[in-house]
Amino acid sequence: METILVTGGMGFIGSNFIRYILDQNLDFRIVNVDNLTYAGNPENLKNIEQTSPENYFFFKSDICDFATIDKIISKFDVNYIINFAAESHVDRSIENPSIFIQTNVIGTQTLLNAAKKNKIKKFIQISTDEVYGSLNFNDLAFTEKTPLSPNNPYSASKASADFLVRAYYKTFELPVNITRCSNNYGPYQFPEKLIPLMINNALNNKQLPIYGEGINIRDWIYVIDHCKAIMKVLFNGKVGEIYNIGGSAELSNIEVVRKVLNLLNKPESLISFVKDRPGHDLRYAINHEKITKELNWKPEINFQDGLEMTINWYLNNKEWLNNVITKDFI
């Protein structure tokens, strides 16, 4: 049985990835390392240790702690590292960039050093389309060859981490892949992000704050489609390559919010336009032709269906939502 070390596995995408692997009954042991910051919620993987006692292990640790990470890798004979761990909210990065540099840059370097020492088979860096910067409305979508041009401290820290991963491949021949994905949505997403925040506010008849005029466009992907793409890269990705992962679902923020309100039968009068975010990127769009052509992956869940599934999940998991909202996230 091979072992995957998943960092940030209590977060939104990481926890969905762990559930996906365990649900597939693949012959893998999962070791989850998470520092349980505000967005790392143990309830995201509630009961997993009981239902998969031989395949799942959790350790609370900072990815910047080399000694602990090295010990875990050695103890479990880790074969692969998938780095989901990151500070990921743009607004928070504007308020306090230092935390983002520490986790997203220094933390990634620490993991790379541990991977190099222990000669792991592959290191996958989970990055973001935000490292490419912003597009105008008529620009072509980002490809893997698009120059990096981050516009906020969060995306700058992720771009820095990507450069480190590339450097360890080029300098030390560490087997790596970098994946850059568009905006994820789905179950277990911390309710500071657009879709779960809008769902929660609408359910409670609170104002739905939208930056500027709501014209900013994002490409959306259902989180399980992202998880499937990561598995394709893990098994079949060519070492050293970057793969863009997109959902083929470009929508403006105002369109997304109106869809949420429509599905919840709530009035558009709940929408409230607020002062725009500093350096707010106008548009992200992912060209995923490379991973589709080379690894036979494409998104399977269209946005409307995915949004309906997401809303139904939040409606059926109000206890989870209420427990998370007790934290100070706004």
Residue 278 confidence class, pLDDT cut points 50, 70, 90: confident
Residue among 34, 62, 87, 129 flagged as catalytic: 129
Query: What was the pLDDT predicted at 105?
Result: 96
Query: What was the pLDDT predicted at 330?
Result: 42
Residue among 80, 154, 168, 169 flagged as catalytic: 154
| Phi/psi-derived region of residue 267, left when phi > 0, alpha when psi is between -120 and 50, beta in every other case | beta
Query: What was the pLDDT predicted at 27?
Result: 87
The chain-wide mean pLDDT, for the chain, equals 94
Q: What are the tens digits of pLDDT across the range 241-270? A: 999 999 999 999 999 999 999 999 999 999
Query: What was the pLDDT predicted at 99?
Result: 87
Closest CA to 93 of 154, 176, 33: 154
First to last CA, the chain: 42
* Contact indicator for 208, 270 with CB cutoff of 8 Å: yes
pLDDT over 50 at 328, yes or no: no
Strand partners, 245: 181
* Contact indicator for 240, 174 with CB cutoff of 8 Å: no
Residue among 34, 62, 130, 162 flagged as catalytic: 130
Q: pTM of the prediction?
A: 0.95
pLDDT over 90 at 236, yes or no: yes
Mean pLDDT for 32-53 is 88
The sign one gets for the Cα dihedral 43, 47, 48, 49 is positive
Task: Note the CATH architecture for domain 2-189+221-247+283-303.
Answer: 3-Layer(aba) Sandwich (3.40)
* Contact indicator for 273, 207 with CB cutoff of 8 Å: no
129 catalytic? Reply is yes
Mean pLDDT for 172-195 is 95
- Distance in angstroms (rounded) separating the CA atoms of residues 139 and 141: 6
Query: What was the pLDDT predicted at 218?
Result: 96
225 catalytic? Reply is no
How is the beta sheet containing 183-185 ordered, strand by strand? 183-185, 217-222, 250-252
80 catalytic? Reply is no
Strand partners, 45: none
Q: What are the tens digits of pLDDT across the range 125-173? A: 999 999 999 999 999 999 999 999 999 999 999 999 999 999 999 999 9
Quick one: angle between helices 303-316 and 253-263, nearest 10? 50
pLDDT over 70 at 326, yes or no: no
Rg (CA), the chain: 19
Residue 19 confidence class, pLDDT cut points 50, 70, 90: very high
